[in-house]
Structure 1
Amino acid sequence: MTAESGIRYRDYSVPYLVDETLREGIERTAFPISVDAKVALLKSMAAAGLRDFVVGCGPEEPLVWDRLHQAREAHELPADTRATFIILLNCWETAFAYFQSRQQHRQWIADTVFSFGMITYRQGEREFERAIEAFRSIGAVRFKASVLNNFRQGVSEQRYGEICRQIDWAASLGVEIIRINDSVGSLQPHVTQWLCSKLVKDYPRLVFCLHAHNDNGLALANTMQAIHSGFQMVEGALAGFGNRSGIAPLEQVVKLCKTNNISLGSCELDLDKLIDAAHQCEDAFLQVPSVYRPVSGKLETLSNYGVLNIPDFLETQDEKSYFVNYVGLHPQTVRQALRHYSTAGLNVATMADADLWPIVESLKVEMRASMKDIESHYRRVMGGVMDFYRASTYTPRQLAQYAERWIVRGHAAHG
């Protein structure tokens, strides 16, 4: 393990890897996703080597939780596939009722990590204690707690003290995994390093993870800094799906870990299959593809051809395909294309720049002329996409109107 100033940067292991795509991604998308679609994603992710999945949250019925265990028993998922279910304290009784009705599957419940969020909700009434006790009564034994934070002003000693108070509280109730939630995505990596290193030192017996939101584009950096600083668990979602700007993109974390010889999770991870699963998520969530997204963008490996291609100049040997654009046109680009793709047996080596500049200028004229139609086509396509989203998304106003009609009809029916 290589360490600098007490921080490890490569050659180490992170034993726990938790995928949140089926919670954060589903929570973010504006469209209802079928259970069958969720299970199909689950199987694709498991085929890529993921094993621990958050499969539901709060008030939703644990139908994917059911299907995960059914598929595991039918050998459609690996035997070591595990589930986490998030329990929000402001609606925990509903979740409890769902799981209480499934007590015939006590082993499934015992295998599940119940992750409690909003743990300070009604703390004066001991709501957290009541929820833990209730879930224990139906066979739950594995617990996780999320400490919510607004880090926009950094981490003061007072803020750190409050984090520790909540950790001590959770640990006293038998919670063994603590999630530090960058709830509004405002952590910066140097603060993350200080915070995570201190927590690992102060609580050596607990397992920590950082739930890093991407509001400022730092979720990946903060996630990596957390494990470099000693956190033992990674949470993320494929393609970074999640509320607002999303959370740490799991395939990007995996690539960085592979590059730096960091073992992640309990199984060998197939990055190509993770990327395929990320594309499957975009389709299932009815999302416009982020075509140049790092690692899993569908055109991410499409590279500028010719004189502008710095990675080729550096002989990186990366897998890529190419496009030609206006700014990269040059006689040397034409010469390179002819050398690679000409079938006319041309002697490219003898061609002077003066002979090739007319080809460059002619193609530039053609490209400029084509832009009007290309731009028009783009605006039609995007106009249709935005109309689709606007027409297909439920709004709070619609919710109020729907509830109002239901209540008025109920009053009318009762005189």
Structure 2
Amino acid sequence: MTTTTEPTTGNRKITIFDTTLRDGEQSPGASITPEQKIVLARQLAKLGVDAIEPGFPISSPGDFAAVQQISRELQGVEIVGFARALKPDIDAAIRATQDAGLRRLHLFISSSQILLEHQLRKSQDQVVRMAREMVAYAKQFVDRIEFSPMDASRTGEAFLFELVEAVIEEGATTINIPDTMGYALPDEYGRMFRRVREHVRGSDRAVYSAHCHNDLGMAVANSIAAIQAGVSQVEVTINGIGERAGNCSLEELVMAIETRQEALGVETGIVLPELYETSRLVSRMMHFPIAYNKPIVGRNAFQHESGIHQDGLLKNRNTFEIMDPEALGIPRNMIILGKHSGRHAVMHRVSEFGIELQNEQLEELFARFKTKADVQKIVTDDELLRLVGSTINRTLERFKLADVQVVTSSRKHRVASVSIVDAVAGEERTNSATAEGSVEALIRCIKASMPFELEFIDLELQSMAHGEHAQAEAAVEIAVDGRPYRGSAMDQDVVLAVARACLSACNQAARALVAAEA
């Protein structure tokens, strides 16, 4: 298991509290099984988070069991039991986390006037009394207690001071001041922490934590403002998932700290090469696609189509990138070929295939490329190789799709038949398969046609237009000998798009295997 490390640079350490499995799972449609929670918790520990909030123990038997299992297994990371300021909640959280090597109880209660009137239906005096009693009750069982006044950023200052002071007196060790509705502006949120620390008696006895939602798109900015105000813990989720517009994104916050470390004077213990895999694992398990333009982990985050950008990157990566994707576990693929790409980018990509073209051949290829790029948004590697092959009158791909047939039925298994030409073997292979779904049957046929073992890892489907003539873009990831390969293709037929994308990845694998043998 990977554990976090102490700062070695003299910078202040920021505790990363991950609530992907609790607040993140509360996203509509993001629910996962207890078994999946355990898998994700292991990856979060590998990523190096300091604390994991694995769920809401009283909410369901499955959540209780998952929190219990994670507490028993992950002894090197702090496990946080989440509970309302109610005895049954506290009892469930205490029981679920009792086997943790290091544990904390996280209590919350509503604090804004609008929530007190319309949700909790209690007076301020009643809330303070409940908070006092429940913190004191929980203190009998666990030393480390975090308290959150829910909707703190819309809570009157005087009442917020009174509530925080009361729970510190009863033994709360961490005060989390959440921007529950994503309402605060960065300067307001930072000022709130400074005001609490200045005006609450005993404030120096507590650790302060930020928990920001992203309703106005400021969760990361607000979290950084809190850090600049002296906060030492930030609560985050992978990919920024969470209720409504989500939470502060772990990868965005961590990389802001990493990239601007000199300006911020803080650091984390996150294992950067694990960021990308953790993001993809959460996306796959929760069936939440990652936006193409999502910072850090989005498909376009480190990809460039503009000719000016591509030319600069080929000369020096730092011209148009402030982070190294490979340091984050992201495969290097910075140049995307499209209608905005210039000759330098096309020539560079062709040279990576070990192909040398004469000037007139390059001009002919570039003209073909521009025609293709005007028709579709992106020209994939396999499509580029076909264009090069047409230019020099030679086949450069090992595998070519000869025919695909898929029969679907609402009552029976789907049946697929695929014919693939292997240029190296000089033969055409045809395989058939049945499966529950058309794509599954198709992939089985392609696997059977390959001269090497491949593992089908991931599939992304996207509609590239509206209406009945829309094209589907498929992105397929496979693994051969443990190494990942990703192919993409577009077609008006979804099944054909998947087939071509898969074959593109297979051709990449074949090229890599030949290069390794050489």
- In the alignment, structure 1 residue 271 sits paired with structure 2 residue 272: yes
- Distance in 2 (CA, whole Å) between partners of 1:44 and 1:174 is 32
- Distance in 2 (CA, whole Å) between partners of 1:59 and 1:228 is 35
Contact 1:50–1:269 (Cα < 8 Å) also in 2? yes
What TM-score comes out, normalization by structure 2 length? 0.59
* Residue identity in the other structure for 1:115: L
Q: Who is 2:303 aligned against?
A: 302
Alignment of 1:73-222 (within 5 A): 77=74, 79-89=75-85, 92-99=86-93, 102=95, 108=100, 111-118=103-110, 121=120, 122=122, 124-125=125-126, 126-137=129-140, 139-149=141-151, 151=153, 159-202=156-199, 203-222=203-222
Give 5+ residue unaligned stretches, structure 2. Answer: 1-8, 326-331, 378-462, 475-489, 495-518
Give the percent of matched residue pairs that are identical in Structure 1 and Structure 2.
17
* Residue identity in the other structure for 1:226: A
Aligned length: 350
Contact 2:239–2:290 (Cα < 8 Å) also in 1? no
Alignment of 1:222-371 (within 5 A): 222-259=222-259, 260=261, 262-264=265-267, 268-304=269-305, 306-309=307-310, 310-312=312-314, 315-316=317-318, 318-319=324-325, 320-321=332-333, 322-328=335-341, 330-338=342-350, 340-341=352-353, 343-344=355-356, 346-347=357-358, 351=359, 359-370=365-376
- Distance in 1 (CA, whole Å) between partners of 2:464 and 2:181 is 38
Residue 23 of structure 1: SS of its match in structure 2?
A: coil
Contact 1:110–1:140 (Cα < 8 Å) also in 2? no
Query: Judging changes above 3 Å, is the alpha-carbon distance between structure 1 residues 30 and 106 closer, same or farther for their aligned structure 2 residues?
Result: closer
Residue 357 of structure 1: how far off its partner (Å): 6.2
Q: Who is 2:417 aligned against?
A: none
Residue 283 of structure 1: how far off its partner (Å): 0.9
Contact 1:307–1:332 (Cα < 8 Å) also in 2? no
- Distance in 1 (CA, whole Å) between partners of 2:243 and 2:464 is 33
Residue 32 of structure 1: how far off its partner (Å): 3.5
Give 5+ residue unaligned stretches, structure 1. Answer: 1-9, 72-76, 153-157, 386-415
- Distance in 1 (CA, whole Å) between partners of 2:169 and 2:66 is 31
Residues 285-331 of structure 1: per-residue CA shift (max 9 Å, x gap) = 11123233211224532332643335555541744412111123x34
- Distance in 1 (CA, whole Å) between partners of 2:190 and 2:131 is 29
Residue 67 of structure 1: SS of its match in structure 2?
A: helix
Structure with the bigger RCO (C-alpha within 8 Å, sep 6+) is 1
- Distance in 1 (CA, whole Å) between partners of 2:204 and 2:93 is 32
Residue 31 of structure 1: how far off its partner (Å): 4.8
Q: Who is 2:388 aligned against?
A: none
* Residue identity in the other structure for 2:44: M
Q: Who is 1:43 aligned against?
A: 42
Give the superposed CA RMSD.
Answer: 3.6
Q: Who is 1:5 aligned against?
A: none
Residues 214-248 of structure 1: per-residue CA shift (max 9 Å, x gap) = 11111111111211221111111111111111111
Query: Normalized per residue, which structure has more helix?
Result: 1
Residue 176 of structure 2: SS of its match in structure 1?
A: strand
Contact 2:71–2:99 (Cα < 8 Å) also in 1? no
Contact 2:53–2:79 (Cα < 8 Å) also in 1? yes
Contact 1:307–1:333 (Cα < 8 Å) also in 2? no
Query: Judging changes above 3 Å, is the alpha-carbon distance between structure 1 residues 110 and 254 closer, same or farther for their aligned structure 2 residues?
Result: closer
Contact 1:116–1:143 (Cα < 8 Å) also in 2? no
Residue 110 of structure 1: how far off its partner (Å): 8.2
